[in-house]
Structure 1
Amino acid sequence: MKDATTIFGIRAVIEAIESGETIDKIFIQKGLAGDLFSELKRTLAKGHYNVSYVPQEKLHKLSKGNHQGVVAKISPIDFLTLEDAVEPILAKKEAPFFLLLDQVNDVRNFGAIIRTAECCGVDAIIIPEKGAAPINADTVKTSAGAVFKIPICKVNHIKDAVFYLQSSGIQVVAATEKTETHLYDVDFKKPTAIVMGNEAKGVTPSILKTVDHSVKLPMRGEIASLNVSVACGAFLYEVVRQRF
């Protein structure tokens, strides 16, 4: 476990990357240029990083010093590769249980989901390199420390993770209101991975086309959707109910 840290300055970020620090997210000022920035771009091209181009005012809020147009967040945890997270679980469990988050980007939702996932026995959480909420102090606090107790891995694309899990004999079930099938119609005693989508857009349409089941929660009120962390809790506990 490492302390969550904010670093700023182009050279400092380059050195952090080259020293092997787990960079959770990098914020770069829009329109930034220059030789040192070109060096940063070459460094970033060697890996996969969650980069956002933001106005200068955003960087002023993130740092207390001369940020030179670049601020990075070092993750308090080390992320696993998909293979390192999944293969040991497949080797020892008959009915593994995974959770995929398709660009859930609110840190408190993310933290709440991690907490519920740990309580429900989820074996690992899979998130994309880009578009996912960072793991920062708010995430850690909202998760009640569960972020340190459950493996989390990053992948280039959630769709690639879906294909990988399916090829390993795991049914992939996506949460969406764009279906007539209810959550309670699926057999969750089988090896399962659940996909929860972005707070505003839901699960990406291209991913919905690849999953084994698209299901929804029955809704009786006038509001047609739930907060993603609440919906996720309902999905995860249906798995627990069927397997208990």
Structure 2
Amino acid sequence: MNNAREDSQAYLQKKRFFDSLMTVYGRKTVLEALQDSSTYIYRLHLAKSNKSAEILDEIITLAQHKGAEIIYHERQTLSRISKNATQDQGVAADLQLRGYQHYDDFLRENSKKNYTLLALDGVNNPQNLGMIIRSASAGNIDGILLPQKGNAQIDPLVIKASAGTVFRAPLLRCKDLTEALLDFKKEGALVCALSSYAATELKKFTPNAPCIYVLGNETEGVSPAVQQLCNENVKIPMNNGVESLNVAVTAALIAFR
């Protein structure tokens, strides 16, 4: 019985570790990640078919210096790891980042704090996602709730738009945004959507509890399921007939409100 429990705990710990890894691909992207002192690389994946190149030599040297396991794969296997055969250039890396964690770890560690989070509900444009990450990292945001599905994936375009801040950003992973928001609400957090019809302006909104600002899809906004969970709605006043702002601009205004 004890052995079964220990095996189960060991499996969960192992699964949690692998869930904490972010896989990036592409030679320049992997090189930039390895050059960042804040990144820990667990594994470097290389295609056996790669031809000798200076950038590959530099990647391998940096990976060795950081103590990474280096594995060579058939091209098809590497494509399954990168999930982008057309752009991985025969290179992928599993990174463990200081700010990349499961949301319930953050919730447990910050249960008595008045944190401020952004939650992404269908942000599909990679450049928008990258700019949101950059603004959140620079501003007064304690974490970004990033569901595994429904948003743009972390790829070279996102990393470029974030100016590399994705490697240091407080990204909180969750499988389903509505479930994660419910867990936060149970712990006393407010969930707030941006709406042009709201009575309260963003700059006048001063919550006395942890607050999560939801950023919706570029064209459809916040999904109905998430909107139903919102305790509050706030607006950003518009002039000259402008109806809405780019979602990344909105994130910046929240981050520096």
Task: Tell me if TM exceeds 0.5.
Answer: yes
Q: Say which of 204, 211, 224 aligns to 2:243.
A: 224
**What is the aligned length?**
189
The alpha-carbon distance between structure 1 residues 83 and 188, as it changes in their structure 2 partners (threshold 3 A), is same
Please tell me whether residue 87 in structure 1 is matched to residue 108 in structure 2.
Answer: yes
Residues 79, 88 of structure 2: 8 Å contact kept? no
Larger radius of gyration: 2
Q: Provide the residue aligned with 1:151 in structure 2.
A: 170
**Alpha carbons of structure 1 residues 228 and 75: separation in structure 2 relative to 1, 3 Å:** farther
Aligned counterpart for 2:128 among listed residues 91, 97, 109: 109
> Partner of 1:42 in structure 2?
none
Runs of 4+ in 1 over 6 A off after TM superposition: 72-75
Q: C-alpha separation between the residues in 2 aligned to 1:192 and 1:87?
A: 16
Mapping of residues 19-98 of structure 1, within 5 Å: 26=83, 61-62=86-87, 79-90=100-111, 94-98=113-117
d(CA) in 1 for partners of 2:23, 2:181:
32
Q: Which position in structure 1 is the counterpart of 2:24?
A: 4
Distance 1:213 1:2, change over 3 A: closer
Question: Which secondary structure does the structure 2 equivalent of 1:160 belong to?
Answer: helix
| Residue pair 1:76, 1:136 contacting (<8 A) in 2 also | no
Does the C-alpha gap of structure 1 residues 73 and 186 become closer, same or farther in structure 2, counting only changes over 3 Å? Answer: farther
Report how far residue 184 of structure 1 moved: 3.6
Who is 1:169 aligned against?
A: 188
Contact 2:25 2:88 in 1 (8 A): no
2:140–2:256: 8 Å Cα contact kept in structure 1? no
Question: How far apart are 1:173 and its partner, in Å?
Answer: 0.8
SS in 2 for 1:80: strand
Q: What residue is the counterpart of 2:118 in the other structure?
A: 99
Secondary structure of the 1:234 match is: helix
CA contact (8 A) 1:85 1:152 kept: no
Amino acid at match of 2:126: V
Secondary structure in 2 aligned to 1:233?
helix
Question: Residue 200 of structure 1 aligns to a residue in which SS?
Answer: coil
Distance 1:140 1:62 in 2: 14
In 2, are the aligned partners of 1:129 and 1:154 still within 8 Å (CA)?
yes
Give the corresponding residue for 1:46: none
The alignment partner of 2:101 has SS state of coil
CA RMSD of aligned residues (A): 3.0
Question: Judging changes above 3 Å, is the alpha-carbon distance between structure 1 residues 230 and 146 closer, same or farther for their aligned structure 2 residues?
Answer: same
> What letter is aligned with 2:108?
E
Q: Is the 8 A contact 1:89 1:123 kept in 2?
A: no
Distance (whole Å) between structure 2 residues aligned to residue 204 and residue 183 of structure 1: 20
Do 1:179 and 1:214's aligned partners in 2 also have CA atoms closer than 8 Å? yes
The amino acid across from 1:236 in the alignment is A
- Counting only pairs closer than 5 Å after superposition, residues 110-129 of structure 1 correspond to structure 2 as 110-129=129-148
Q: Distance in 2 between matches of 1:81 and 1:173?
A: 21
1:215 maps to 234
Task: Indicate conservation of the 8 Å contact 2:123/2:129, yes or no.
Answer: yes
Instruction: Measure, in 2, the Cα distance between the counterparts of 1:131 and 1:104.
Output: 7
Q: Runs of 5+ in structure 2 lacking a partner?
A: 1-20, 27-46, 48-73
